[in-house]
Amino acid sequence: MDFQLRFKVNDYIYLRDPESSEIGKAIVKSAIDLIYTLGFEHFTFKKLATEMGTTEATIYRYFENKHRLLLYILNWYWSYMSFLVDYQLKNIKEPKQQLKAIIHLLTHELPDSAGDLVYNKKWLNQIVISESSKVYLVKEVKEINKAEVFLPYKELCASIAAIIELYNPKYKYPKSLTSTIIEASHHEQFFIDYLPRLTDVQAKNKSEFVANFLEDMLFKALA
């Protein structure tokens, strides 16, 4: 059963909180659908307004530009991933099994979602794989970071790094290993679909390849 989760997103990102109105929620939902379909480069507020049957001016009341809208979508996603990690680890006590559960979460598609204002989690996951680096590989990254816009991602990394420290207290680089694992999960999933010769994937194990690769890398580093 689908329901809409709500997370507090940094108000630096938006001009008006999308959660404050039905049209604001619809803007975010439709943007996810359209970015997934077109790609971020071809996505525009004009196309979004046409898709929604509204005006560009309405969208600009909520977001200054499409980069800020993508930032909002990714902030929501990382808050959602933190929620899923906390939920899935509730009944897992062993750090090794917790890390395996996290890798599974990072490397498997999220389920489809239904509902007028429920964000499509599967498409959102694909946007993160394809587009997430575009929010920080920009000239303004220092200014954006000062506003703590990347805090949800940092908090997720910190939570996973804490589990790595429990598994091996002597390991010196838990935060670096965490961010490497997360980014590698994105790169490998992208490469499998578009540049498979950059990976060692075989057709018969495509669905589990990334999880197996990351587990191998993670636990050998922590051995």
Structure tokens belonging to residue 30: 């439709």
Name the residue among 84, 79, 88, 115 with its Cα closest to residue 4.
Answer: 115
Number of domains forming the structure of the chain:
1
Any domain includes 38: no
The pLDDT of 52-81, averaged and rounded, is: 95
- Asked if residue 33 lies in contact with residue 75, where contact means CB atoms within 8 angstroms, the answer is no
On the question of pLDDT at 116 being above 60, the answer is: no
Residue 1: the pLDDT is: 39
Q: Label residue 206 by pLDDT band (50, 70, 90).
A: confident
Structure-token match 């999933």, residue found: 189
> What span, in angstroms and rounded, lies between the C-alpha atoms of 220 and 14?
42
Any domain includes 148: yes
- pLDDT tens for 24-43 read 999 999 999 999 999 999 99
Q: Label residue 4 by pLDDT band (50, 70, 90).
A: low
Residue 42: the pLDDT is: 95
Alpha helices by DSSP H, listed for 89-173, are 95-107, 121-131, 141-146, 151-167
Structure tokens belonging to residue 54: 């509204």
Domain that holds residue 175: 75-222
Any domain includes 66: no
On the question of pLDDT at 108 being above 90, the answer is: no
Any domain includes 19: no
Any domain includes 48: no
Any domain includes 153: yes
> What span, in angstroms and rounded, lies between the C-alpha atoms of 11 and 68?
11
Any domain includes 140: yes
Any domain includes 25: no
Q: How many CB atoms lie within 10 A of CB 20?
A: 11
Give me the amino acid identity at 119: Y
